[in-house]
Amino acid sequence: MAMAMAVAVVRALKAGRSGISRFSTFSALSPPPPAEAPPNAEPDTNLFVSGLSKRTTSEGLREAFAKFGEVISAKVVTDRVSGYSKGFGFVRYATLEDAAKGIEGMDGKFLDGWVIFAEYARSRPTTPPPPPPPPSEGPSGHQT
DNA sequence: GCTGAGCGG
């Protein structure tokens, strides 16, 4: 019973997050609203986990998601100056199927007393290396 | 110690 209620809460939260109402006013001079806004993101090994508790750490995230797949990397985003958790983190799985299982297995579930949300992150494939500067001139000691 | 939507480095 309690679990069913939790699922309803989760659905309500996720529905409200979109902020899109089906009762849109259709007018000729109004911008045509999209038929539907799929919260689905493109599959990736990077997962964006939100709704985390302030006490949840990267280790808690890894252990929580490691039950559904091989977690390559897990990190909870914390503030630079306060050092406190921002309430969300990122989990990277070994494969896309593990990532999907992680979402299906942890999205809308309870972690540390809070309902967490797991979805595909927009993040970049890996640590962004600094772009190499363009070569100014040829070999030094000789230029025309 | 903590605010509770969002996307780190």
Amino acid (1-letter code) at residue A79: D
Q: Render pLDDT for A2-61 as a digit per residue (tens, 0 to 9).
A: 556 555 555 555 554 444 444 545 556 655 555 555 556 678 999 999 999 999 999 999
Question: Residue A6 carries which side chain, given as an amino acid letter?
Answer: A
Q: Name the band, by pLDDT with cuts 50, 70 and 90, for residue A125.
A: low
- Please classify residue A128 by burial: count the beta carbons closer than 10 Å to its beta carbon, then call 0-12 exposed, 13-18 middle and 19+ buried: exposed
Instruction: Please give the mean pLDDT across all residues of chain A.
Output: 78
SS3 state at A54: coil
Q: Which strand (E) or helix (H) includes residue A81?
A: none
List domains and CATH numbers for chain A.
Answer: 47-120 (3.30.70.330)
Distance from residue A113 (CA) to nucleotide B3 (C1'), in Å?
17
Residues 54-113 of chain A: which lie with beta carbon within 7 Å of strand B? 54, 73, 75, 77, 79-80, 82, 84, 86-90, 92
What are the Cα distances from residue A34, in Å, to A15, A20, A132?
16, 10, 41
Angle at A103 between CA A118 and CA A111, to 5 degrees: 55
Does residue A85 have a pLDDT over 70?
A: yes
Q: Name the pLDDT band for A131 (thresholds 50, 70, 90).
A: low
pLDDT of residue A107: 93
pLDDT of residue A18: 45
